[in-house]
Structure 1
Amino acid sequence: MNPFAIILAAITSQVLGFFWYSQMFFGKEWVKLSGHKNSEKMKKEEGKIYTLNFLLTLLEAFILSRFMALSQARTILEGTQVGFMAWLGFTLTSMLTTNLFQNKPKKLFYIDAAYQMVAIMVMGAILALLS
């Protein structure tokens, strides 16, 4: 377990999310589909939200690093494969189950699920590279 790799993986995931949900990429469509409003309450709690989001991403990177160790993934390809399998087995299945009951637009689901897939695969690559 490399603490630097875990922190770097979490930071990279956050940066990816910043761009993924920016106006340059999927941000406009995501806001429209999600009905998200930049309310005063949201602006006041933005610091808390991003802090908690980063802490959760750190936890995700830590757990992924444990999966990497258990599977003995050492190459970038193996790291992305472990990331993909974690996404497929845990993230995607949880997101699909939730989506079945929320009745939200499929395109919103695709934007979010694709981000989660890319983020965890990139984290897997970083963790493998720096392990």
Structure 2
Amino acid sequence: MEINFLALFVAALSTLIVGFIWYNPKVFGTIWMKESGLTEEKLKGANMPVIFLMAVFFAFLIAMIIQFLTIHQWGAFSMTGGNVATAKPSYTAFMADYGTAFRTFKHGAFHGFLTGLFLAFPMIATNALFERKSWKYTFINSGYWIICFMIMGGIICAWQ
């Protein structure tokens, strides 16, 4: 199996598009700013090009992991120790039978949803508890990542 870096990059970029919509003042932006304790003045002092570049870089790292959670064939590949040449015949038989099975946007989005719900949400909620943030803050940020993971998972899983 080969890593599809273009799919990972496009999936990473999708988080910016979702963010532009999700954190727009007409959607959740105003509530998020209030719950985060941010003001427009505080936001103006930021180096936005660096923030966006780092956001895409971090989303790319997330995409690297999401590919292994959404594409089942990576599990079979990992059982070979990463070396198909030394794999047992069962690997070749498995890939012949299931090589492109479940490689759809819908399937990737489903696994992205599960990853967001059972990984991103608990992490964000735990931090929010210790930071004394509200449940609104928790649900806005968790919702963003759940949606992002769904779209990222769908892109990565479907792009063959």
Sort the TM-score into its range (normalised by shorter chain). 0.7 to 0.9
Please report the TM-score for the alignment, with normalisation by the length of structure 2.
0.73
Which sections of structure 1, spanning at least 5 residues, go unmatched? none
Residue 82, structure 1, aligned to residue 111, structure 2: yes
Q: Could you say if the C-alpha distance between residues 40 and 115 of structure 1 is closer, same or farther in structure 2, counting changes exceeding 3 Å?
A: closer
Q: Is the 8 A contact 1:73 1:82 kept in 2?
A: no
Q: CA deviation at 1:37?
A: 2.8
| Amino acid paired to 2:6 | F
| Amino acid paired to 1:101 | F
Q: CA deviation at 1:105?
A: 1.5
Residue 107, structure 1, aligned to residue 109, structure 2: no
Please report the TM-score for the alignment, with normalisation by the length of structure 1.
0.87
Q: Is the 8 A contact 2:115 2:146 kept in 1?
A: no
d(CA) in 2 for partners of 1:28, 1:54: 23
Counterpart in the other structure of 2:32 = 30
d(CA) in 2 for partners of 1:18, 1:130: 24
With a CA cutoff of 8 Å and minimum separation of 6, indicate the structure with the bigger relative contact order.
1
Identity percentage of aligned residues: 27
| Amino acid paired to 2:142 | A
Give the structure with higher Rg (CA).
Answer: 2
Which sections of structure 2, spanning at least 5 residues, go unmatched? 76-100
Counterpart in the other structure of 1:17 = 19
Counterpart in the other structure of 2:122 = 93
d(CA) in 1 for partners of 2:60, 2:148: 12
Q: CA deviation at 1:40?
A: 6.5
Pick the structure with more helix per residue: 1
Counterpart in the other structure of 2:55 = 53
Please say which of residues 68-77 and 57-66 is displaced more in the overlay: 68-77
Q: Secondary structure at the match of 2:24?
A: coil
Q: Is the 8 A contact 2:112 2:152 kept in 1?
A: yes
Residue 7, structure 1, aligned to residue 9, structure 2: yes
Q: Is the 8 A contact 2:22 2:144 kept in 1?
A: yes
d(CA) in 2 for partners of 1:83, 1:27: 23
Q: What's the Cα RMSD here?
A: 2.0
